[in-house]
Amino acid sequence: MIELYFSLSSPWLFLTLLYNNKCLASIQKENFRLHSENFLTHLKQILEKCHFTLPQINRIYFTSVPSGHTGLRVSLAFLSTLQVLNPQIEIYHINTLLLQSGGESCLSLLTIDNQGNKYHAAVCKQKKFLLPPRIIFKENLTELKEEFSNFPILKNFCQVDFLKNFQKLKKDFKLLRKIEEIPID
């Protein structure tokens, strides 16, 4: 079984290729505003290094929303194309804020604007949302921090091990029958 994990939902690029649950190659690097330029290049490098091709991939696990517009467009274009190449491929997704939590209790944040005034936010506990994802402004973040003061804050995947979190939450990813099932708002 060949599986690809990837995330383009934050300022980070994450790609991992697994064969029978063994990690063959992995990339986790800051990639602010460069997803469209770098995703396919790094994917090609990983596939060549491991001697596999796109049609050989059996399953894909990826982060869906919330996401930057470019990261989501690149992800959807890639997945749609791959479904044409391999209609049997299984595609699984998970909310980006939940992946960032790694199943732990936390306040999970992704910065939306360059000024740091607006965030995608959720409060996570034991692989579930206590407070579902929403957009909040900087001035409301203080209230949220006070309300959940015993929860650590994870922001923009800083110091998060993508591979570890993918593996912890693998059973919580949702299977998509069609790309159109991905919630995009």
Averaged pLDDT of the chain: 86
pLDDT(71) > 70: no
- Alpha carbons 57 and 60: distance in angstroms, whole number: 8
Q: pLDDT tens digits for 91-102?
A: 999 999 999 999
CATH of the domain at 147: 3.30.420.200
18 and 72 in a common domain: yes
pLDDT band at 38 (very low <50, low <70, confident <90, very high): confident
| Model confidence, pTM | 0.87
* Phi, psi (degrees; rounded to nearest 5) at 70: -65, -45
- Residues 6 or more apart whose CB falls under 8 angstroms from that of 127 comprise 98, 101, 103, 169, 172
pLDDT(112) > 80: yes
CATH of the domain at 68: 3.30.420.40
Its domain, for residue 72, covers: 2-96+160-181
148 and 114 in a common domain: yes
Amino acid letter, residue 101: S
pLDDT band at 142 (very low <50, low <70, confident <90, very high): confident
